[in-house]
Amino acid sequence: MTPVELREYIMGLAASAGFDRCGVARAEPIGRGDYVRRWLAEGRAGSMDYLHRNVGARLDPGEILPGARSVIVVALSYNQPPPDPPEDGRSRGRVAMYAWGDDYHEVIREKLRTMRDRMHAELVTPFETRICVDTAPVIERELAAAAGIGWIGKNTMVLSRKLGGYFFLGVMLTTLEIAADEPVVDHCGSCTACLEACPTQAFPAAYQMDASRCISYLTIEHRGDISKPFQEMMGDWVFGCDVCQEVCPFNRKAPATHEPRFAIREPGLRPALDDLLAWDDEDYRKKLSGSAMQRAKLEMLRRNARIAIENVARGRVSPPPQEVGHPPPVACP
């Protein structure tokens, strides 16, 4: 097959595997390498020391798979409408949408392996691959932007006019020469809804994030104590945060996911805080088996629950998107 024919073949495989989007980028250094180095040097990774390792590979995917020529990037939506919260009078926390269902790592890895196995069975040309789903030092969002999946928005998330922002990314590096896609145009326009809505002011400027201030980082990645000022800004979030996604106009009409494994499972999107606080090791293992919420240790979830309990009691909770203190954002050009 020619590189163009290979691209069409890969697009078909991705669609048959159940992915919503697929794009191809060249296996070459990312375009914002200087920004990443500066971001790390300024301490914006917080206590995520692992991000300071293998920086060369993060900036150049070719270092991960010797001889790599192409990067296949896939996207899978997890968007779904939230059900009404239980009306039982109990204090409840909030979980980011990406963790409502089964662990996305396994779902995407399985689909990528299906693609890879078919490629090895059907292509005559010998080649090598490496599948990466948050398990290798690659910066998926940069590769996704290069592959035309979407553009990196002002909240530093990859956004798509068709899918919005609620989607997972997966990467397959390969030594195959595949025709690359072109990056898409940035459609954020003058909208600043995400920057204004962030409870912790984690965006020092458009297209920049200080992860050390982000609620997702504080509730999932940060292992130690959380300072009192940040505790008061965390609201009722106990795992992750969706505020900048909730106010994004591109998520207003985004299609719902078709992946059944992302259906809401225990503990759901609004766990009872006293239940969460009472979990022991067995509860943690049983209730979170196969869930992305296992990224946070039990003691971290208890810490988050204690903070949320106080915030709920004091009325410091995240309001619905339409009540976030600015007019609804208009569709951007």
Beta-ladder partners of 164: 160
From the list 172, 152, 141, the residue with the least C-alpha distance to 27 is 172
Contact (Cβ atoms closer than 8 angstroms) between residue 72 and residue 138: no
- Taking the chain, what is the end-to-end CA distance rounded to the nearest angstrom? 38
For this structure, is 102 an active site residue?
A: no
110 vs 113: CA distance, rounded Å: 5
Integer CA distances (angstroms), 249 to 9, 161, 166, 324, 328, in order: 33, 10, 12, 14, 8
What CA–CA distance (Å, rounded) separates 85 from 92? 9
Give dist(CA 133, CA 170) in Å, integer: 5
How are beta strands 94-95 and 237-239 bridged, if at all?
Answer: parallel
Tokens 């300072």, located at residue: 227
Dist CA 306 CA 276 (whole Å): 9
d(C-alpha 197, C-alpha 311), whole Å: 18
Q: Which of 60, 134, 186, 283 is catalytic?
A: 134
Tokens of 289: 């088996």
User: What are the beta bridge partners of residue 38?
Assistant: none
As annotated, the active-site residues are 134
